[in-house]
Homo-oligomer: A and B are copies of this chain.
Amino acid sequence: MIVTIIGVGLIGGSLALSLKQQGLAARVIGVDRSPENLRKAQDLGLIDKAHKDLAAAVAPADLVVVAVPMDAMLTVLPAVLDLVTERQVVIDVGSTKAALLAAVQAHPRRARFVAVHPMAGTEYSGPEAAVPELFAGRTLVICDAAGSAPDALQLVETLFHQLPMRLVHLAAADHDVHTAYVSHISHITSFALALTVLEKEKEEQRIFELASGGFASTVRLAKSSPAMWVPIFRQNRLNVLDVLDEHLHQLQRMRELLQQEDYAAFAALIEQANHIRRIIK
């Protein structure tokens, strides 16, 4: 199978490596807005051939993967669908789905498109950040599959099943609610935590010396790129605001109990939070 990857960053590049490693892609063609990323992707062996021209890159592909930030996605995906034939399949790997699916809802090639979101990533970006083991054992969400042609869906399911990934079907709107909870809010809290510490803790050497694993793990997402994340927050704005309000409410509750020195109620809240053990091993 020939795979064309548009956007050879963390996700596109990692997918290229995974597909090659599993013997699922005979040839990977890369397209990127940045000539430097494209060169790096070729040097790192993520792609076999680099293309500047979208039409030339899409033409030979069996599968086209659009792995660009969500703002660009809204224009690149329709442009790719304009180019494909009935024998080709297109996927996105984006973190928000409702706006994107609305944007291609009426496209004549909508059925060639399968909307997927691999629930995997790191705080790094660019082709250098690509790793072959990013997806193995993780969940792939497939959204609004009823709008995809059965053969297109079949190809995508078979492919990701072999990475291997666990497949879950969701409506786009539900996907966006759930990801606000299990991904987007974590990034907001991490950015805010980094800002809190950087704002007040001027002795950076002290942070470096004293920071233990707990701090590093809660703040690591704050290294994530604004180019990737601002469009996600923008497209999932109402869900993110809703979850953020709930999170502010929970923090305010903890603050009040500490202010009032009601340690019994504070302990009860922590015990409630401990229930997350049931879900996160």
Q: Which residues of A contact B (CB under 8 A)?
A: 119-123, 138-139, 141, 166, 168, 178-179, 181-183, 185-201, 203-204, 206-226, 229-230, 233-234, 237, 240-241, 243-248, 250-252, 254-255, 258-259, 261, 263, 266-267, 269-280
Contact = CB atoms under 8 A, between A and B. Distances in A.
B192 A254 contact: yes
Contacts of A138: 212
20 contacts: A178-B206, A178-B207, A181-B196, A182-B215, A183-B214, A185-B197, A186-B193, A188-B251, A188-B254, A192-B247, A195-B250, A198-B273, A199-B246, A208-B280, A217-B220, A217-B221, A219-B280, A223-B274, A226-B266, A248-B255
Given A217-B218, A254-B192, A212 B198 contact: no
A270 to B, nearest CB: 4
Given A219-B280, A279-B204, A266 B233 contact: yes
Given A229-B270, A244-B258, A221 B214 contact: yes
Given A139-B209, A208-B280, 4 more contacts: A218-B221, A226-B266, A226-B271, A230-B266
B275 A198 contact: yes
Contacts of A279: 204, 207-208, 211
Contacts of A141: 210
B195 A226 contact: no
